[in-house]
């Protein structure tokens, strides 16, 4: 039967090292997801402000806004489905 220090070195330490690494990777992933979410919200707000500026400066009804646009092709819920 292995002694306690040998058991610690052979079984427990490698498991702890693996778990610490996984925890650090998860924390990094979580931080990146939070940053991505903040940037997507900022992008949506920027698009909204720019669209409103365009409508106000053109003096036209919003229904006459051009459909062709880089970000106008995003379907509802698309931002929620993004994963990296």
| DSSP character at residue 67 | S
Is there a contact between 29 and 37 (Cβ–Cβ < 8 Å)? no
Half-sphere exposure of residue 67: CA atoms within 13 angstroms, side-chain side: 2
Hey, is 77 helix, strand or coil?
coil
45-81 residue pLDDT tens: 999 999 888 888 887 665 555 555 445 445 555 555 5
Hey, is 59 helix, strand or coil?
coil
Question: Whose structure tokens read 């229904």?
Answer: 63
The radius of gyration of the chain's CA atoms, rounded to the nearest angstrom, is: 25
4-32 residue pLDDT tens: 778 778 888 889 999 999 999 999 999 99
Q: Is the pTM of this model over 0.75?
A: no
């Amino acid at each position: 039967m292995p002694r306690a220090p040998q058991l610690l070195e052979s079984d427990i330490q490698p498991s702890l090292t693996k778990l610490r690494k996984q925890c650090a990777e998860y924390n990094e992933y979580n931080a990146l997801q939070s940053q991505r979410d903040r940037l997507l919200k900022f992008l949506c707000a920027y698009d909204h402000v720019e669209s409103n500026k365009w409508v106000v400066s053109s003096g036209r009804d919003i229904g006459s806004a051009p459909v062709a646009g880089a970000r106008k092709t995003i379907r509802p819920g698309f931002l929620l489905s993004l994963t990296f």
